[in-house]
Chain A
Amino acid sequence: MNLLNGANGDLWYLWVAFDITFVVLAVEIAITVNAGRKYRRRERLIQPRTRTSTLTERP
């Protein structure tokens, strides 16, 4: 009887379930927070000089 397997040998499922849950949620946080980097507002105080036409693209 150890902490990893438990009495029936099935505690393993418990740890995997909890680990998967929190890893998936952490990955979701990481992806969502880092998404849309190109569109983020007011990231720089001074906008870089544009080399492309501002008619069709955001500076």
Chain B
Amino acid sequence: MLRLTARIVHRELALTWRRRTSALGCLLFFVIAASLFPLAVGADPALLRAIAPGVLWVTALFAAMLSLTRLFGPDFADGALDQMLLSPQSLLAMVMAKIGAHWLTSGFALVLLAPFLALQYGLSFDAVCRLTLALLIGTPVLSLIGSVGAALTLGVRGGGMLLAVLVLPLETPVLIFGANAADASRTDGWSAANFSLLGAGLLAALALCPVATTAALRISAE
């Protein structure tokens, strides 16, 4: 099973590298969208520091949403997904490997970019650390919950928009806890509580979402 997972991760990373334009596109969207807000609300440093956690979290959410269509889309289109469904290997393991690889190329990349974007908002070192850690714990949950939506909307017309409509309500708790955890103007106790909730969400998502995604894949690809 471990070798299967490693192989799938390697496959996903190799395929993403070949089509790296779309992956980089999502990251570029994150950078551009986050840059729009200071232009729109004005350059008042105090205001930017106050809105930074929320804005960066929402743009990370949108960027993750945009990248979800490439989780199962290409495989569905060229028939590789059918092969995975037919194979005697554990579909659950394959799905977990795909989600993990997808997170590495989308959510994790956002986490690495976030400190640089935080510079635009003039956040303190403490705030940047909180934000990065919150994104580190939260983006896997976004990928996990999003994978359920991606599996449900496979091959559906208007899929990208529908995916966002379905998944964003389910991901709002992650957004709320994540943005609260990243808020540097609150007490440490408040941040710690939100980090705990984020961590709990990650554990619950790890346990439940791959199963739901596997079921949804079987439903969609029949």
Question: Per the CB under 8 Å rule, do A and B touch in the complex?
Answer: no
Chain B interfacial positions (CB closer than 8 Å to A): none
